[in-house]
A = this chain, B = another copy of it.
């Protein structure tokens, strides 16, 4: 029987040890984990085959993400080596200053402690999460989708052996072997032992965790992203950006879902842009004005403006001014990524200042909202909340700070 409380205690003890390690010790363990994964490829694929056999009735899209191959195991190992090469966020202090009373205060970066991850049946997330949490000095408790259970147990076993071989506590990484809903629920309330929960997966999974958990959650993912083509846009640039943001990878959260276009350019430009999007297989849904200009569009419903399609679909609205575009975005967006295309300086600045979102762009594709593109090396996810972290999260999102205060006997007057 899985005893979550016991797992939590073991994770907390391991986290205390991890918090004291040098970057070199953690990097050594990450490299050993990578080598161990490659060496254990046959066992991992065998466990994965059992999962795949049990999931054979499920759609190909689902089993495709569940399936491991020698190349995918090698990719996981490369991922761990890449994390080893990153800077250790806990080696940095944010600030240091001396107070009026003569105390010297350092705001030091420290690990969060124990991270809980809840995710779908994707074994690669198991390895990814193990690497990122270890590098940032945290222990992790993993609860993946039940269809990947054999794969996850096999991966965890290999990674734990490597941790042990590197002289680190194996309990730094634990997989919940009981896939029941009751245990996931218990995990979401384990406030004494888990410092933060990070759900990774579809909107439904994330919403369920946010609503149920009493452990603090870092929310990631939903993206109803807009592109506003201003009256002063360079229209060739607008076409390139809209097509890239919609078409290059429509299933991801930073893909654009909505197009707002200024009435002054709609009549002449929308037919050209629509044709280009349709040529790329995009189904267009328009408001009345857009449909009047491009009759091949389907009329959009009220629901469309709040929907993240994650698909080759785009809804189009004609607006009378930038102010209307900004108000529409602030009313319907998921606070993820928004772009204006304009050659007008004031229009760009107004958009940057008034749109409420994690990432606001002038003249660039929303697809750049990404930890790698931002230069963070690794990405934990993209936060759409306002507390703790907002936008693409690098390793430092898995840390907090501690004030270390050095005195000489000061007492308060």
Residues of chain A having any CB pair with chain B under 8 Å: 16, 19-20, 97, 99-101, 103, 105, 112-113, 195-196, 210-211, 214, 216, 218, 234, 237, 240-241, 244-245, 248, 330, 348, 352-354, 356-365, 367-369, 373-375, 385-388, 390-391, 400-412
Q: Report A198 CB to chain B, min CB distance, Å.
A: 11
Given contacts A373-B101, A390-B402, A401-B390, contact A361 B407 (CB under 8 A): yes
Secondary structure class of chain A's binding surface, majority of residues: mixed
Q: Report A216 CB to chain B, min CB distance, Å.
A: 5
Given contacts A244-B411, A411-B244, contact A374 B406 (CB under 8 A): no
Given contacts A211-B214, A373-B412, contact A407 B364 (CB under 8 A): yes
Given contacts A113-B356, A386-B112, A387-B387, contact A405 B101 (CB under 8 A): no
Q: Report A184 CB to chain B, min CB distance, Å.
A: 18
Contacts of A359 in B (CB 8 A): 402-403, 405
Residues B390 and A400 in contact, CB atoms below 8 Å apart: yes
In the complex formed, the residue of B with least CB distance to A409 is B237
Given contacts A99-B374, A388-B388, A401-B390, contact A412 B367 (CB under 8 A): yes
Contacts of A406 in B (CB 8 A): 348, 352, 361-364
Residues A403 and B358 in contact, CB atoms below 8 Å apart: yes
Q: Complex: how many Å from CA A79 to CA B386?
A: 28
Contacts of A210 in B (CB 8 A): 214
Contacts of A364 in B (CB 8 A): 101, 103, 405-411
Q: Complex: how many Å from CA A394 to CA B19?
A: 27
Task: Return the contact of A385 from the options B20, B214, B216, B237 (Cβ within 8 A).
Answer: B216
Task: Return the contact of A403 from the options B360, B400, B408, B411 (Cβ within 8 A).
Answer: B360
Given contacts A103-B368, A368-B101, contact A387 B196 (CB under 8 A): yes
